[in-house]
Amino acid sequence: MSEPPAAGRLVVVGGGPSGLAAAWKASVEAVRAGASLEIVVLEAEDEVGGKARTEHAADLLIETGPQGFLDDQPVLREMIDACGLSGEVLAPEPAANRRYIYRGGRLRELSRSPLAFARSGLLGPIGLARLAMEPLVRSRQDGDTDGGAGDDESLFDFAARRMGRQAARRLISPVVLGIFAGDARQLSAAAAFPRLVAMERAYGSLFKAMRAGRRRGAPPPGHRTFLQGIQSLPRAVAALPGIEVRCSQRVTAIKRGGRGFTVASSAGDVAADAVVVAADLPAAADLVDGVSASAADELRQIASPPMAVVHTAFDAGAATHIEPAYGFLVARGEGIRMLGCQYETATFRGRGPDGTFLARSLFGGSVDPEAADLGDAQLVDLTLSELRRTAGIDAEPAWTGVARWPHAIPQYAPGHPQRVARIEAALDPIAGFHLAGNALHGVGLSRAIAVGAECGESAARELLN
């Protein structure tokens, strides 16, 4: 029996996790409708994955982009199942529950035990007393503001209001470095950490919300990866039937014309009935410019500072004094340029040979973009010097590697929710055009996949109905 004629062609720009999620979800919709839909993914690089990039060197598994993902999106679990990767999902080692912050010249454990936390020295007596008062702090509700951009509280101000300035400075600000590589004073609480804002609105207190979650038996989202690395997922999605992936085809422009779009790439023009843009910033802004100059201008206001990821592998004996843990973050003002360090071989099994200690150190971001521009040798020397000072590792590495991301993590500045509303107001009237990726609705891998899937589903339904 021959297939029905294609209902149209969907072109997805960007073969990273978000773009491939859009392509996969569109193919699912086509199968559900019993229809044929041509789905083409155009990827600029020579392989899929975007920043989800796994490399292998010297018997090591190297994650140059995201280390893992949060298991907090049902559509992500659905996609993993569709790819046959459910048996490949890897949970972290128990030791990864231990995390540290480097402050006051030493590593201090961010313990879940109230007594151990109080003894850690992360907060002083005044800071601890103020933190304990969090349930008594009046909540900020929607009626307290007029909804303008000036009312979009920064994450630092949100944390200071709820937990005290000492906790905001010593706890929240370092944690933000590990997620956004950004400054808590320059990030929107509502956009960057919507769950925290929702917890306050629902329960009037973060502590009360956490207690309610424990009473319900609701575990926090788990940190996961794959046995063969994070790039396993985009590679598996690209191999699914119903999706055509064309690598080494950089898209240079998108234009509206007639009832569809013309997608110009390095390999020539491609006609499309619908388009999902899942490119990173600032490239996404340039592509959106072809359909909405106002939306493109708004996207160009979202900074994506550079980052460098330095891997250093040490032989057995160099780090025997280090307690197995996820790693540590560095409070600003310590004279350390490193944002944080992840202990890869202590977090996920299979990252290196037995006895090897693989560290992954992060530099740059909005707090120190110049660090990402240092040469490879300078970055390695800086990493070794700072690992010696922070973690006490005084040995020559057996292997080193440097990965660079010129435009790493979008920074959701105060006013971001209002900017998102303006971008969506400009793009929503353009039938068949969708913006995926992590520029608007969350920088985490799982959230970017959820956004991509939503765009793919919407685009497919438009073409199939």
Instruction: Write the pLDDT tens digit of every residue in 38-79.
Output: 999 999 999 999 999 999 999 999 999 999 999 999 999 999
Residues paired with 310 in a beta bridge: 361, 402
What is the set of domains in the chain, with CATH numbers? 6-52+229-302+413-464 (3.50.50.60), 123-216 (1.10.3110.10), 305-405 (3.90.660.20)
If you average pLDDT over every residue of the chain, what do you get? 95
81-95, 130-144, 243-257, range with the lowest pLDDT = 130-144
Crossing angle (nearest 10°) for helices 17-33 and 74-82? 80
Determine which helix (DSSP H) or strand (DSSP E) holds 61, and give its type and residue range: strand 60-63
Distance CA 398, CA 391 (A): 17
Per the listing, tokens 């996207």 go with 299
pTM: 0.95
Instruction: Write the pLDDT tens digit of every residue in 268-291.
Output: 999 999 999 999 999 999 999 999
Does position 1 have pLDDT exceeding 60, yes or no?
Answer: no
The pLDDT, as a whole number, for residue 4 is 53
Distance CA 317, CA 319 (A): 6
Contacts of 240 (CB under 8 A, 6+ apart): 24, 27, 82, 83
39 is written with which tokens? 């789905």
Determine which helix (DSSP H) or strand (DSSP E) holds 18, and give its type and residue range: helix 17-33
For the segment 380-403, the average pLDDT, to the nearest whole number, is: 98
Alpha carbon 424 to its chain centroid, in Å, reads 21
Say how many C-beta atoms besides its own lie within 10 A of residue 214's C-beta: 10
The pLDDT, as a whole number, for residue 214 is 87
The pLDDT, as a whole number, for residue 145 is 55
Distance CA 243, CA 79 (A): 14
Strands 106-109 and 69-70: unpaired
For the segment 120-146, the average pLDDT, to the nearest whole number, is: 87
The pLDDT, as a whole number, for residue 2 is 41
